[in-house]
Amino acid sequence: MTEANDAPPKREALIDWLSCTVKVGDALAAYLLNLFGDAVEATGHGASGYNTAMKTPGAGLVAWGGNKETMLFSFKGKTLGWLREQGVDVAQLVKDVYEGGAHITRLDVAWDDRSGSFTVPEFADAVEAGEMVSRWRVWKVWRGLRGYQGYTVYGGSAKSDSRLCVYDKAAERTVSGEDVEGEWVRVEWRTRREVAMAVAKLIAEGNLDAVAAGLRGYCDWKIPNPGDSNWRRWPVRPCWVDLLGVVRRKLEVEKPTCTMAGSQQWAETQWCNTAGALRVALGPVSFTQWWQEMVKSGDEDKIKARLAEWGVTPQVLGSGLALEHAPAIDD
């Protein structure tokens, strides 16, 4: 399966959001910037924790400065649509970003059903009836909010690295003033962090079908069989198979390796502003005393576990003594 670019068939799949961070000065950063040429506009302010930002066509974002020599590229669906109009193969773009060493923070893939084989209210009813065999334990159904007449169904929490969103795309477009003919249901898989990297890997391998199979591994729409208590033997709804294919697979998500350098970078990014403010407010001496007491108060077992992840053996063990040698940050 390739990403749909031409006139939409009854069903299509497309990449609908791509966000990543790239090192400043990296060739990949220059490549991503060059995609837009002069079609960017300075915002005059920062964004997403960065000091400086620019807008791209389609409300996309490029930001840099003040975040450990990285740049943020955030391309929403409209931005990716604009890139398609310029002749960019978005699946190839994801491949370039993934293989270029970027850290992909969000990647959404959507499947559109234009056949009318199911509606969002039917999907919502199926969720409430327990027909969804899913790794998501949290489901929410929204009806008619803010003047929007369609339904929206969410699988997974808003903070999850993997979330499903099923909504009435025709109703959304109609509310925005467009004339839409026929049914249009969008099934959107919103992934972040490690799950996004796993999905990007499949796309880089040229396999959007495998992404659809991975979504089926998270959620399958079944036809309940009252005579069989084993839901694994229940048949799958034909409309779900038509949309995502016959294959169901478990998405292989690599657990991030915890390194001392990575932990240092995380601590510097998360703590630098607050620590700097505390040092000014308390004064260098009081701040250093507070810092040492805070470090000593850590849970020794958890500290040992983290040291083991780093491959570091503490020189002194027992009753918090391993923490006595925590350096003062002013040393």
pLDDT of residue 145: 52
pLDDT one-digit tens code per residue, 232-263: 889 999 999 999 998 888 888 877 666 777 77
- Tell me what percent of the residues of the chain surpass a pLDDT of 70: 88
pLDDT one-digit tens code per residue, 22-81: 999 999 999 999 999 999 999 999 898 899 999 999 999 999 998 778 999 999 999 999
Q: Given a cut of 70, is residue 280 above it in pLDDT?
A: yes
Q: Given a cut of 90, is residue 10 above it in pLDDT?
A: no
Model pTM above 0.75: yes
Q: In sequence order, what DSSP letters do the residues of 57-118 get, joined into one string? A: TTTEEEEESSSTTEEEEEE-HHHHHHHHHTT--HHHHHHHHHHTT-EEEEEEEEEEE-S-S-
* CA-wise closest residue to 188 among 143, 144, 244: 244
Q: Are 80 and 29 in contact (CB under 8 A)?
A: no
Report residue 216 as tokens. 């089926």
Widest CA span in the chain: 73
Give the integer Cα–Cα distance in Å for 190 and 192. Answer: 7
Mean pLDDT of 172-182: 79
> Which is more confidently placed, 263 or 269?
263
pLDDT of residue 323: 41
Q: Are 15 and 1 in contact (CB under 8 A)?
A: no
Helices (H), the chain: 27-34, 77-85, 90-99, 120-128, 169-175, 193-204, 208-218, 238-244, 260-282, 284-296, 300-310
Spell out the residues 6+ positions from residue 287 whose beta carbon is closer than 8 angstroms to its own.
278, 279
* CA-wise closest residue to 268 among 313, 329, 193, 322: 329
Q: Are 144 and 156 in contact (CB under 8 A)?
A: no
Choose the weakest-confidence range: 53-62, 120-129, 140-149: 140-149
Find tokens 């026929």 and name the residue: 182
pLDDT one-digit tens code per residue, 78-120: 999 999 999 999 999 999 999 999 999 999 999 999 888 898 9
Report domain extents, the chain: 11-244, 260-323
pLDDT of residue 84: 96
Report residue 163's pLDDT band, with 50, 70 and 90 as the boundaries.
very high
Report residue 316's pLDDT band, with 50, 70 and 90 as the boundaries.
low
Give the integer Cα–Cα distance in Å for 204 and 226. Answer: 42
Report residue 187's pLDDT band, with 50, 70 and 90 as the boundaries.
very high
